[in-house]
Amino acid sequence: MEALMYPIGKFAAEPHPAEEHRQEWIKDIAQMPGILRSTVQSLTAEQLLVPYRPGGWNVRQIVHHLADNDMNAYIRFKRALTEETPTASSYRQAEWAELSDTNDTPIEISIQLMEALHQRFVLLLRKLSPEQFERTVISPAYGEMTLHEAAQRYAWHGRHHIGQIQSLIERMGWQ
């Protein structure tokens, strides 16, 4: 079950990130919406409703969750850049995944939202200094973290959920 939940492995932070690490995370963040789009573009409406693992979210829920998470992440970064160690708001992602906008909204809307948001987020990230990446935010789930760690988590999060979808597609022979 763990391999289904974490097809790319669990998150492990780079403890001493260098400029090349930051550039790799920013590249991952920039490319994520396009990779997601190409991963789900040929799936049928029925396939979008298949959970990536027993008891897990379906593909539609994962796509909308990524958009929800990305909006929250962007706000976390902006708050960390403009406030002293703000406490990020949390959200009940499991409950959000059950709301009508997740069930009734075409995934294309969330993909378009991510494309626009990632463009803006990447413009912000590319201009941050190494000192700005040392600013901190308090995550209700993970405690105090630098924007270095937050960027790593954010880049990993997109790869993680796309990996879940790709793993499902491969297991089901939908390619």
- Give which of 172, 165, 173, 167 is closest to 41, Cα–Cα: 165
Per the listing, tokens 């669990």 go with: 10
The letter for the amino acid at 153 is R
Q: What is the biggest distance separating any 2 CA atoms in the chain, rounded to whole angstroms? A: 49
Question: What is the distance in angstroms between the CA of the first residue and the CA of the last residue of the chain?
Answer: 22
Does 118 show up as a binding residue in the annotation?
no
Asked if residues 4 and 130 have their Cβ atoms less than 8 Å apart, the reply is no
Asked if residues 98 and 112 have their Cβ atoms less than 8 Å apart, the reply is no
Q: Within a 10 A sphere around the Cβ of 2, how many other Cβ atoms?
A: 9
Distances (CA, A) of 85 to 63, 73, 77: 30, 15, 11
What single DSSP character describes residue 19? H
Does 148 show up as a binding residue in the annotation?
no
* Residue numbering of the annotated binding site for Zn(2+): 65, 157, 161
* Residue numbering of the annotated binding site: 65, 157, 161
